[in-house]
Structure 1
Amino acid sequence: MNINPFELMKNAKDLQAHFGKMQEEIAALRVQGVSGGGLVKVTLSGTFDMIKIELDPIAVDNRDIQMLQDLIRSAHTDAVEKIKETLKEKVGPLAALAGGMPS
């Protein structure tokens, strides 16, 4: 097997460009998690930053703050799971080219 170092460098540069583009796409990604049948919605970026929380006024009850906290936590968890799944779909094939997906 004859390995061409120039071809390896070209492939590495191509892979680096793909990773750079992928990082931009991930940063621009927006995913919404929902709980309580839509009473609480949490929007996260692809880098897991919380962008927005939406609360239906019905969900805000001074007598049951614990329920609201649970709904927010549940919507956040839903959004995180959606991002993880999206990242697997987007990054998985590219990571396989680079020698495997990190665990």
Structure 2
Amino acid sequence: MMPDMQGLLQQAQQMQQQYAEVQAELAAAQVEGTAGGGVVTAVVTGDGNLVSIKIDPSVVDADDIETLEDLVVAAVHAASEQARKVAEEKMGALTAGLGGLGGGLGLPGF
């Protein structure tokens, strides 16, 4: 039995459009990660780009820069993890429609 090539092409075009829409949503989405009880906050887009860092002046100590550096790294890591979860959620919803075929298509992100 031959697969319906026209139908497959249409489905592939729809998936490509949905994938582009999800990528745009991820680029527009912003998530936060904090460290040190909220004294350092990092904001990252859903596609992983660092947007901003906010540092409470109370943690700025010229004699202890290492702690501040560690807090910044921890906040960025937390925000990146949130971004990864958002991306997984959105991409998971898209690939769920593939009936488990996503990995076999060789498409980036699937």
The corresponding residue for 1:70 is 70
Counterpart CA distance in 2 for 1:32 and 1:99 is: 29
Higher relative helix content: 1
Instruction: For 1:19-98, list aligned pairs within 5 A.
Output: 19-96=19-96, 97=98
Counterpart AA for 1:46: G
Quick check: 2:23–2:47 contact (8 Å CA) kept in 1?
Answer: no
* Deviation by residue 1:43-70 (Cα, 9 ceiling, x = unmatched): 1112222111101011111111111001
Relative to the length of structure 2, the TM-score reads: 0.85
Counterpart AA for 2:77: T
The corresponding residue for 1:100 is 103
* Residue 87 of structure 1, CA deviation: 1.0
* Residue 95 of structure 1, CA deviation: 2.8
Counterpart AA for 1:30: Q
Q: CA RMSD in A?
A: 1.8
Quick check: 2:43–2:79 contact (8 Å CA) kept in 1?
Answer: yes
Structure 2 runs not aligned, ≥5 long: none
Runs of 4 or more consecutive aligned structure 1 residues displaced over 3 Å after TM superposition: none
* Residue 99 of structure 1, CA deviation: 1.8
Q: For this pair of structures, how many residues does the alignment match?
A: 103
Quick check: 2:33–2:76 contact (8 Å CA) kept in 1?
Answer: yes
Quick check: 2:48–2:84 contact (8 Å CA) kept in 1?
Answer: no
Quick check: 2:47–2:87 contact (8 Å CA) kept in 1?
Answer: no
Relative to the length of structure 1, the TM-score reads: 0.90
